[in-house]
Amino acid sequence: MDLGLFFMQSVVLRARLESALGERIPSPFTDLDTRIPEIVPTGIVPVDALTGGLPRGAITEIFGPPSSGRTRTMLSILAEATGRDEVCALVDGNDAFDPASGIAADLDLKRLLWVRCHKLEQALKTTDLLLQGGGFGRVVMDLTDLSLSYLRSVPLASWFRFQRAIEKTPTVLVVMTPESMVKSAAALVLRLEMRGTDWSTLLNAMDVNLEILRSRRTRPSISKFEFRISK
Amino acid sequence: MFACIHVPNFSGESHAALSDCASAFSPRVENTAPGTVVFDLEGLERLFGSYSEIAEKVAEHVRAAGIQAHVAVASNPDAAISAARGFAGVTVVGRGTEAKRLQDLPLDVLAPSPEILETLDRWGIRTMGAFRNLPAVQVSERLGQEGVRLHKLARGAGSRPLVPHWEALQFMEVMELEYELGTIEPLTFILSRMLDQICSRLRARNLATHEVHLALGIYLRVLRLPVPVRNPKLLTKLLILDLEAHPPGAPIQQVKVEAIPTKPRVAQNGLFVPLSPEPEKLELTLARIAAVVGEENVGSPETLDTHRPDAFRIRKFEVTAERFGNRNLLLKTCEPDRAKQGRMVGSSHRLSEVERTTPAAPPKDLLDGAATPPLPRRGLRLSRNDQLEGGDFALRRFRPPLDATVQLRNNIPSWIAFHGVHGPIEKLSGPWRSSGDWWRPNRWDREEWDIEVHNLNVGPPTSALYRIYYDVHTDRWFAEGAYD
């Protein structure tokens, strides 16, 4: 077949499809993966330097064992957003958030919607409602204190549903778990681990390892680093 | 010139809507009688065109409100009323032609007393034209002042001023149900219809509502909104969600909805306004979340001015665009209604109370490291030794605090077990004593310890940091939270 004729036919076919789908799907042939997501800082300088920050319209997963600095990292992310006058939501899976710790981390509590859940189902339903409602800069889903057996029962499709719900919005969904649960639905995965503590009769500081397990936007040159959280 | 809207066979339900229709054209509206309103058209030609065009527009507006009414325009209020009562559809009576246009109408149009009507009937006077032909002096002698007034009306020569009503606006709908409703679902259709009517009336006056009162017989609910709205679908959903959370205890026989009017919200968004939810949408989202987790578990946290541990309360979360300026969006956290929305969690402590907090003298071997409390520092950043240092530790609370079994060695905790954690305490600091509310039943007096536990429970041994305390009054140990 003449190559020119084939090219013309494909152009006409594309124009027809675009015309037919135009009202429902704008730009149907645009590759979604080629879009560059907007990035917002985490408030942790090396993480921002290595990953660029948290991608808007995507899920970021932070996981680790107890006393690994997850909550301090979460507060830093929320404080950074409220410092920019954005409104945030915290879906507290086991009612563990301490408002005094939030204030100490410079979190503006007036800009924080706190939903105190006591069951996994409540947390999932609430997150769904918040993402559908829209308008929140960060939505943090804190599931760290929930039982692993319950968390493993959440189907992977649920995380992909959340990802689809926010992919064209400026919302950052941060999921905090004791183990990696979100899998490939997450655009950025961070693992935290306590390396040691510093006691000089008083509890002074905690040394934490942070590992970047996945970063879809950039391939970090260093995937592991340490930081210290002092009291 | 004046216009009159008259509803024949008036049933008593739509007079407020009739008044609103008139108010959409003129601020000077007189509620003449049930089903009859008169309003001033002076100066409206520039806005709406000729008087016949105005009459057509009024009739169209009334039809759009679902009311079947007659509309008449005349040079004085009484002639307009007579024409509206006597002629169907739209009637325009020109200036100076009132007597001629009204002459064929029956005397009932003037609403005379039964005695006068009977007298005139005996005289053979049955139309307004016949009545106006009688000499005024003789009518006065035989029928008195009432006869003179009616004679003047029959000539279309009324000269009374309009008496506009200035009553407070009331946006209320009442519906008596034919049979009792035992569930919430059928109420959706009733509320939707009533709120449609109320919101259309609000829209006609360019008003909105920020408070809706719902009365189901003697059961009352008040819906307070952070921003004025006039969206009937939104209000219906919010009321239904509220009723599902607080169902009435008895079957419903009567439904009364009243909206408190206020000025509508004016907001102009900018390109660089920070991200925040739409207030109307947020209200619906919050109501739906409250239905899932409970009303007391949704809101904005606020710490209380006390030393009592974990003292905070939840306030209603609101995002309100109140001011247009360099910060377009203002967040407003308002005091909730004490009876219905106010709640205090974690403490019933009052702000004016006096507490005492006494850090106990730590054991001698711990004194060397005692330092002044660190100041909060913002963010996590690089320190001098190229490590990252952050602000304060974050505490994850166990609510309620978990019962703990603690073994002591020389009055210092050495081993602990609580809810899935057990193992030796490797490092610790404390005790830090605090107490307060000694004059109340819910007083507290405790000794706090920061501990590092080598957890031997499951899997490979791991270390974690916890805050535990010894309750002096109950002589028990508790785990309060984990540092994370």
Last-in-domain residue among B209, B227, B262: B262
Q: Assess whether B146 and B10 both reside in one domain.
A: yes
Q: Assess whether B223 and B91 both reside in one domain.
A: no
Contacts of A207 in chain B (CB under 8 A): 387
Q: Assess whether B191 and B252 both reside in one domain.
A: yes
The per-residue pLDDT for range B79-91, each reduced to its tens digit, is 888 888 888 888 8
The closest CB to that of B366, out of A73, A85, A201, belongs to: A201
Q: Assess whether B149 and B176 both reside in one domain.
A: no
Contacts of B387 in chain A (CB under 8 A): 207, 226-228
> Positive or negative, the Cα torsion across B143, B146, B152, B156?
negative
DSSP state of B57: H
The per-residue pLDDT for range B290-309, each reduced to its tens digit, is 999 998 999 999 999 888 88
Element (H, E) at B198: helix B185-204
Contacts of A133 in chain B (CB under 8 A): 277, 281-282, 284-285
The per-residue pLDDT for range B425-439, each reduced to its tens digit, is 998 988 999 999 889
What mean pLDDT is reported for chain B?
A: 79
Contacts of A95 in chain B (CB under 8 A): 297, 397, 399
Min Cα–Cα distance to chain B from A20, Å: 32
Which pLDDT band, with edges at 50, 70 and 90, does B212 fall under? Answer: very high
- Specify the pLDDT at position A33: 53
ipTM given for this complex:
0.84
One-letter amino acid for residue B71 of the chain: V
Angle between helical axes of B232-245 and B185-204 (0-180°, round to 10):
140
Angle between helical axes of B279-293 and B232-245 (0-180°, round to 10):
20
* Mutation target among B329, B344, B380, B381 for the A interface, most CBs of A within 10 A: B380
Q: What is the mean pLDDT of residues B137-149?
A: 85
| Phi, psi for B47 (deg, rounded to 5) | -85, -45
Q: What's the whole-model pTM score?
A: 0.69
Is residue B218 assigned to a domain? yes
Q: Which residues contact B460 (CB under 8 A, 6 or more apart)?
A: none
DSSP state of B188: H
- Specify the pLDDT at position A23: 66
Q: Assess whether B304 and B386 both reside in one domain.
A: no
Structure tokens given for B172: 């209320």
- Specify the pLDDT at position B414: 92
Other residues' Cβ atoms within 10 Å of the Cβ of residue B174: 12
CATH number of the domain encompassing residue B201: 3.30.1490.100
Q: Yes or no: say if B61 and B21 are a contact pair by the CB < 8 Å rule.
A: yes
Min Cα–Cα distance to chain B from A120, Å: 11
Which pLDDT band, with edges at 50, 70 and 90, does B232 fall under? Answer: very high
Which pLDDT band, with edges at 50, 70 and 90, does B461 fall under? Answer: low
Last-in-domain residue among B86, B120, B154: B154
Give dist(CA B254, CA A81) in Å, integer.
Answer: 48
Q: Assess whether B50 and B185 both reside in one domain.
A: no
Is residue B317 assigned to a domain? yes
Longest Cα pair distance anywhere in chain A, in angstroms? 84
Residue A71 touches partner B, C-beta closer than 8 Å = yes
Q: Assess whether B50 and B179 both reside in one domain.
A: no
Q: Which residues contact B481 (CB under 8 A, 6 or more apart)?
A: A96, A98, B395, B396, B397, B398, B401, B466, B467
Q: Yes or no: say if A144 and A177 are a contact pair by the CB < 8 Å rule.
A: yes
The listed CATH number (3.40.50.2030, 3.40.50.720, 3.30.530.20, 3.40.50.300) that belongs to domain A37-230: 3.40.50.300
- Specify the pLDDT at position A34: 55
Is residue B358 assigned to a domain? no
Is the pLDDT reported for residue B69 higher than 50?
Answer: yes
Is residue B161 assigned to a domain? no
CA B53 to each of CA A110, B5, B46, B60: distance values in angstroms, whole numbers, following the listed order: 55, 15, 11, 10
Q: Which residues contact B195 (CB under 8 A, 6 or more apart)?
A: B173, B232, B235, B236, B239, B257, B259
B352 or A101: which leads in pLDDT: A101
Is the pLDDT reported for residue B109 higher than 90?
Answer: no
The closest CB to that of A112, out of B300, B395, B481, belongs to: B300
Residue B431: CA count within 13 A, CB half-sphere? 20
Q: What is the mean pLDDT of residues A57-63?
A: 92
Is residue B356 assigned to a domain? no
- Specify the pLDDT at position A109: 92
Is the pLDDT reported for residue B198 higher than 80?
Answer: yes
Which pLDDT band, with edges at 50, 70 and 90, does B343 fall under? Answer: very low
Q: Yes or no: say if B253 and B177 are a contact pair by the CB < 8 Å rule.
A: yes
Whether residue B431 has a cis bond before it, omega within 30° of 0: yes
Give dist(CA A88, CA A84) in Å, integer.
Answer: 11
The closest CB to that of A67, out of B310, B379, B464, belongs to: B464
Q: Assess whether B93 and B26 both reside in one domain.
A: yes
Number of domains in chain B: 4
- Specify the pLDDT at position B358: 36
| Phi, psi for B50 (deg, rounded to 5) | -70, 170
Q: Yes or no: say if A191 and A179 are a contact pair by the CB < 8 Å rule.
A: no
The per-residue pLDDT for range A114-133, each reduced to its tens digit, is 999 999 999 999 999 999 98
Is the pLDDT reported for residue B135 higher than 90?
Answer: no
What mean pLDDT is reported for chain A?
A: 86
Give dist(CA B38, CA B59) in Å, integer.
Answer: 13
Domain residue limits at B175: 171-262
Q: Yes or no: say if B380 and A44 are a contact pair by the CB < 8 Å rule.
A: yes
- Specify the pLDDT at position B12: 61
Is the pLDDT reported for residue B351 higher than 50?
Answer: no
Structure tokens given for B32: 């003449």
Is the pLDDT reported for residue B373 higher than 50?
Answer: no
Give dist(CA A165, CA A160) in Å, integer.
Answer: 8
Pairing of strands A172-177, A58-63: parallel
- Specify the pLDDT at position B361: 40
Cα B151 to chain centroid, rounded:
52
- Interface contacts (A, B; CB < 8 Å): 238
Pairing of strands A138-142, B2-6: unpaired
Is residue B402 assigned to a domain? yes
Q: Assess whether B285 and B150 both reside in one domain.
A: no
